[in-house]
A and B are shown apart, each in its own frame.
Chain A
Amino acid sequence: MKGREVFLWVVGGSAGSFTPVRNYLHQMPYRQEMAILLCLHRMRNPRISMIEALGRVPEWRVLEPDDKTFVEGGFVYVAPADYHLLVEKEGYLSLAVDEPVHFSRPSIDVLLQSVVQAQWPRAGAALLSGANRDGAYGMYLFHKAGYFTAVQDPADAEIATMPEAALALFEPKVRFPISQLVEVTLQALSL
């Protein structure tokens, strides 16, 4: 499946999210009608790339998209370090080097906002552990636009700032412990 037909599942997080996300990807059953957009904050010029750090994920194609990559199901698109990742109405992904938002590039807010602006037909998002409030406002916009939203339970998060910031703005469809991220994803996809 390709372009606007694809269900977009955005996963955003920062400090304390990386290892859980890696485990999640290794458990997540393959779905050809869905693309996962991973937006995790990380160091500039890291020693090893995020793709290497994620390791080989069964079945899913994991990559850092180039600018104007057409969205395809069965892919995990990892926002490259030092670029914002945005979704375009026409069905492809754009990169941008606009100023960091909440000191973050990629920024989760920027990505989520672009999905809403593009009026993408089917999408959902999960916000995980993190040490700043990037993503909170974007999740709120997602929620307002009628998309499925899930926020990690702050008590379960290694660092609660990010999920707490989101919960201060709205009540998501689900709050979940990280161990249930696979179930939450499948629930979002089935709606």
Chain B
Amino acid sequence: MFPETLPEIADSDLEQFFQIMLTQYGYDFRGYAPASLKRRLGTVLKRYGLADMRTLNQRLLTQPDYCERFINEITVSTTELFRDPSAWIALKTQALPLFLSMPQLRIWHAGASTGEEVLSMAILLTEMGLYDRAQLIATDIDKRSLNQAQKATYPLRNRALYEQNLKTVFPLSSLDKYAREEEGQLVFRQELLRNVLYLQHNLVSEGVFGLFEIVLCRNVLIYFTPELQDRVVMKLVDSLVPGGVLMIGTKESLFWCSAAKRLVAINESERLYRRRQ
């Protein structure tokens, strides 16, 4: 066997998997783009030496304790501090100035993963003197990632990249202001998290839960089919106050989304939009 071998996954086995996740646990994976979902499932099968999807399905049926870990394994948590720095520059120069005179600034990070994106926002707000007015909510389907986010502790090997990204957005700043090394880890100051709330929330099956001036949902939609993207973006736009700002991932597109009509571009190439008044 080659190390890169991934088991083939038949559509019928996938069907059973969808049913189990939905009826036993309330997770709806039917709208996830199949190519990557099959890949992830294959990786999980391999990791546990499971012969096929039937075995995994069995395990999910009989071991409810396994579900939380499974959600962590099946989702993709890749993220980084100030990922796509040019998008953050657009936020800094074109979006945040719209809210300078507002008494409050409510921000939702949908699909916040292990928290680097929220920390980036916290740093951005601090640098701009807006932090005290802000209330940030970080949500994700994956509880384990959120637990990590709350610790704000990352491998030290990420340091150079994070510093470089931060300096691209704020040339005069430095990571030392916000994080320190501790026992071989990069630990961000808890101060940065004082206005952040972490909540488990499923964008697919749960409704809108508040109104926000800014909503970020980056690199989450890529895992959905066009139909599900349409539904989820509708929820994101419903969560915006009129004039509120939406940012999606740099390679994501609103092409399939009817809610695009309710938005105007602030910066199309950085995927920065504003809800019509």
Given the known inter-chain contacts A86-B35, A86-B36, A88-B35, please indicate yes or no for A98 contacting B253, CB distance below 8 A: no
A158 within 8 A of B: no
Q: Identify the closest chain B residue to A98 (Cβ).
A: B76
Query: Are the C-beta atoms of B252 and A66 separated by less than 8 Å?
Result: yes
Residues of A near B36 (CB, < 8 A) are 84, 86, 94, 96, 98
- Interface size in chain A (residues, C-beta < 8 A): 30
Residues of B near A185 (CB, < 8 A) are none
Cβ 8 A contact of B255, one of A66, A88, A118: A66
B223 within 8 A of A: yes
Residues of B near A113 (CB, < 8 A) are 6, 39
Query: Are the C-beta atoms of A97 and B34 separated by less than 8 Å?
Result: no
How distant is A76 from chain B, measured CB to nearest CB, in Å?
Answer: 17
> Considering the chains assembled together, what is the distance between the CA atoms of A80 and B222 in angstroms?
14
Query: Are the C-beta atoms of B253 and A68 separated by less than 8 Å?
Result: yes
A128 within 8 A of B: no
How distant is A110 from chain B, measured CB to nearest CB, in Å?
Answer: 7
Given the known inter-chain contacts A137-B4, A137-B5, please indicate yes or no for A98 contacting B256, CB distance below 8 A: no
A109 within 8 A of B: yes
Residues of B near A99 (CB, < 8 A) are 78
How many cross-chain pairs have Cβ atoms below 8 Å apart between A and B? 75
Query: Are the C-beta atoms of A97 and B252 separated by less than 8 Å?
Result: no
Residues of A near B266 (CB, < 8 A) are none
Query: Are the C-beta atoms of B35 and A67 separated by less than 8 Å?
Result: no
Q: Identify the closest chain A residue to B3 (Cβ).
A: A137
Residues of A near B252 (CB, < 8 A) are 66-67
Query: Are the C-beta atoms of B222 and A95 separated by less than 8 Å?
Result: yes
Chain B 239-259 per-residue mask, 1 if CB under 8 angstroms from chain A, else 0: 000000000010111011000
Cβ 8 A contact of B38, one of A84, A109, A117, A137: A117
> Considering the chains assembled together, what is the distance between the CA atoms of A80 and B38 in angstroms?
21
Given the known inter-chain contacts A96-B36, A110-B39, A137-B4, please indicate yes or no for A67 contacting B78, CB distance below 8 A: no
Residues of A near B38 (CB, < 8 A) are 117
Query: Are the C-beta atoms of A94 and B222 separated by less than 8 Å?
Result: yes
Query: Are the C-beta atoms of B222 and A109 separated by less than 8 Å?
Result: no
Query: Are the C-beta atoms of A67 and B4 separated by less than 8 Å?
Result: no
B175 within 8 A of A: no
Show the binding face of A for B, using Cβ within 8 Å: 64, 66-69, 80, 83-84, 86-90, 92, 94-99, 101-102, 109-110, 113-114, 117-118, 137, 169
Query: Given known contacts A67-B222, A83-B251, A117-B38, what 13 new A-B pairs fall within 8 Å (CB)?
Result: A66-B252, A67-B251, A67-B253, A68-B253, A68-B255, A68-B256, A84-B36, A86-B35, A94-B35, A98-B40, A101-B4, A114-B39, A118-B35
